[in-house]
Homo-oligomer: A and B are copies of this chain.
Amino acid sequence: MQIESFLDVAHNFKVIFLDSYGVVKNHRGLIPGVSKVINQLRDAGKVIRILTNDASRSPQRQSERFAEQGLTGIHADEIVTSGMMAKLFLEQKVLSGQVAYLGTEAAAQYILDAALNPIPVSELDMENLDDITAMVFLDDEGFDWNRDINKTVNLMRKKNIPAILANSDKLYPVSKNNVSIATGGIAKLVESILGRKFIHFGKPDSQMFNYAFEQINQAGKYDRSDILMVGDTLHTDILGGNKFGVRTALVLSGNTKPDNAEVKINSSGVIPDYICNSIVD
């Protein structure tokens, strides 16, 4: 397993797609040195996009959060989230009514952006669900798991409505050795109890890659061969990049650890073009 320097690899591309969690930041905050690397990429004329399976905050809020943590200059329109894909779907397919959601109030911005009326599951009146036209799983925080997951199960048993999963990740790291169940794990519990499958958004589906690709092609003219996707998770970032037809770099600063990266790559068959310790190495 050959480890390469990230900047050496990035040098060969005009466009860099970066996953957020595990690549730019982790449970402790910004990965030290990231600001400098991003500036170096910009100075070298690289186009940058953040592609994240995160539906807990709008791109605007994620941009502000980066700045608060010390990474300035990431514009909201450089951030592509799985929440945006869910928003596009709602906009196109759910035309009216109230949309129930699990997540924080910040996450509900995606529903507002689709010109729909969000209502947290906690506030649902289970005796009067007539106006509810869809259910969206946005985040694992912002609600009482016991009360509100149970309310969601009952909502879905009573109403024949679309259920949308805006982030299908099942786990995320919260410290060096501990993980937390993510939105995808909660949705899976509900799916398994109801015996049905919801509509999932996010990497590895090509949709987010395609969105970013079309966006950058409005300004200039790039080819897929100009693009490098950088991520820490094989079955989302790297598989998605591989399927979309761009080069991929796996970083070992997040979900995939140096000591089992090679075994995971071989057994999954999801093969990155490059492997780097992190984007700051």
Residues of A within 8 A of B (CB): 85, 88-89, 92-93, 126, 134, 140, 144-146, 149-150, 153-154, 157-158, 160-164, 170-171, 177-181, 185-186, 188-189, 192-193, 195-199, 201, 205-207, 210, 235, 239, 242-245, 263, 266-271
A235 to B188, CA, bound (A): 18
The one of B160, B180, B206 in contact with A150, judged by C-beta atoms closer than 8 angstroms, is B180
A244 to B85, CA, bound (A): 10
The one of B154, B192, B199, B270 in contact with A188, judged by C-beta atoms closer than 8 angstroms, is B192
A161 to B269, CA, bound (A): 6
Q: List chain B residues, Cβ under 8 A from A189.
A: 181, 185-186, 188-189, 192
Q: List chain B residues, Cβ under 8 A from A188.
A: 189, 192
Q: Do B242 and A89 have beta carbons less than 8 Å apart?
A: yes
* Residue ID in chain B nearest A235 by CB atoms: B197
Q: List chain B residues, Cβ under 8 A from A205.
A: 205-206, 243
Q: Do A181 and B161 have beta carbons less than 8 Å apart?
A: no
